[in-house]
Chain A
């Protein structure tokens, strides 16, 4: 029995090392200077690490601007979803109204239809509003995600109603009940929604690609992808430095909030 555990651990460790190796390789390449790359093509452990590639992409490549855009857009979309998805979730969880079933079907159907069908009309709509290449284009369409509505309404349905009823008897209005009782009680669900929205939005590619057309408005993944197309296509030092800048915030958030992230994943699968 013990030997079996040891063998299993060795196999898993080997698998884990090979799984994480490409990411290690990314960081290792990014800290190698130009000279080192010419001298020796492959170097498992960088001998004289340097941050010049990072300084380059941050200054000359507009990665500082991409980073700022990604932070602003992600923050707005995360906050928007935490507020709006919980308002809608509350409406679905606590109110009876005509067409409620239809609305629930609508939420689920939003999850079913692939995005490439709605992408062309969305592009035309945003250009009609003259919002292409703006923060509006990058945030407005994504403020109420159907999956988040679904998750929050599930959670709010499971909350006891006594506190809300008591507050109502005491004369509290709808809005103050929502903001002062329901939202604080829903903190666990809000955490899951916020973190998962951040993960999805930070990595979002197709929509930011079609909804922006200037360097100034690109988010990190789009900026990085387009940077890798032209003259920098084999400039691995700078490309891996840009990649690390794009990947690091996500990995840090994941390590900090693992539990919530995994909760969010499994909430979707157990339905």
Chain B
């Protein structure tokens, strides 16, 4: 609450009008969020097929047991982890350095800023189709590879390269968004700090290490956490480009969940998988916040 001098006491409102203002949210929160959240918890302890609701029954922890016992569940989780661990640091580094570069006085700065941002607002479906063409056997990536004397390959058709190709695409399509966030953080750093650093005779890397990085710690935490949460939910790229193949090499957790829920109609099982994935995401976010916060404490 901000401090504000107030000559007259706060007028008394009727409780009914307060309720009117809040009602859209109460309805939407209850119906489309709280109820689904509670219901999916119930579902995760049930065997439930929407085509045969009469056969629904409680199975206790059996869904969780089945998930942990299913090698495909672990494959999907491993692929998702590879995706997260492989893309988030790369995207963060590119975005960070690009933001530092764009924060200098260069001509056409806002033009660059807008240009780099464009891929991150285009639908992922569109990006996936465009890259599917680039990666195709007769596509442009292979032409470039051949130009440099390499062997063309089916980038999305081979288990060894499919996931990597999608990861590269994800980095390409998302770094602009995080660059904007870093830029906003950079503009919040008081210029005096840089002047002091220059007076102390620190060069580019010294200033980066002792001013920029510590001052950007909170925004870095934000960028890493939201990018991790987003990357754990990678789905559209897989749906459009590979559908989990070849040989399950691009099967991710959410695609696995979607397949179980909406192709095999194992909605109880899929809900349990959803909660397991949620637990993994929360654990990751928690560790990141802890680790990056401790880092800040040490720097100060």
Contacts and interface: CB of A to CB of B under 8 A. Distances in A.
B26 to A, nearest CB: 9
A265 B131 contact: no
Contacts of A5: 104-107
Contacts of A160: 4
Contacts of A106: 29
Contacts of B33: 110, 113, 118
B229 interface: yes
Which of A123, A157, A199, A269: most chain B Cβ within 10 A?
A: A269
Given A25-B140, A258-B114, A124 B219 contact: no
Interface in B226-250: 229, 232-233, 235-236, 239-240
A117 B106 contact: no
Interface string A173-184: 011001000000
Interface stretch (B66-74, B175-183, B195-203, B288-296): B175-183
Given A16-B116, A22-B172, A124-B50, A9 B18 contact: no
B274 A116 contact: yes
A25 B114 CA distance: 19
B233 A203 contact: no
Given A19-B172, A110-B29, A84 B24 contact: yes
A51 to B, nearest CB: 19
B172 A25 contact: no
Contacts of A42: 140, 143
30 contacts: A5-B104, A11-B101, A19-B172, A22-B134, A23-B122, A26-B129, A95-B21, A113-B33, A114-B277, A117-B40, A118-B32, A119-B36, A121-B35, A121-B36, A121-B39, A123-B262, A144-B28, A206-B236, A220-B123, A224-B126, A225-B125, A228-B129, A234-B136, A240-B129, A250-B122, A262-B184, A265-B180, A269-B185, A269-B223, A270-B184
Interface of B: 2, 4, 6, 8, 10-11, 13-15, 17-18, 20-22, 24-25, 28-29, 31-33, 35-37, 39-40, 43, 50, 98, 101-102, 104-108, 112, 114-119, 121-134, 136, 138, 140, 143, 172, 176-177, 180-181, 184-185, 188, 219, 222-223, 229, 232-233, 235-236, 239-240, 254, 257-258, 261-262, 267, 270-271, 274-275, 277-278, 281
Interface of A: 5, 8-9, 11-12, 15-16, 19-20, 22-23, 25-26, 29, 41-42, 84-85, 87-88, 90-92, 95-97, 103, 106-107, 110, 113-125, 127, 140-141, 143-144, 149, 157-158, 160-161, 165, 168, 174-175, 178, 199, 202-203, 205-206, 209-210, 220-222, 224-225, 228-229, 234, 236, 239-240, 242-243, 246-247, 250-251, 254-255, 258, 261-262, 265-266, 269-270
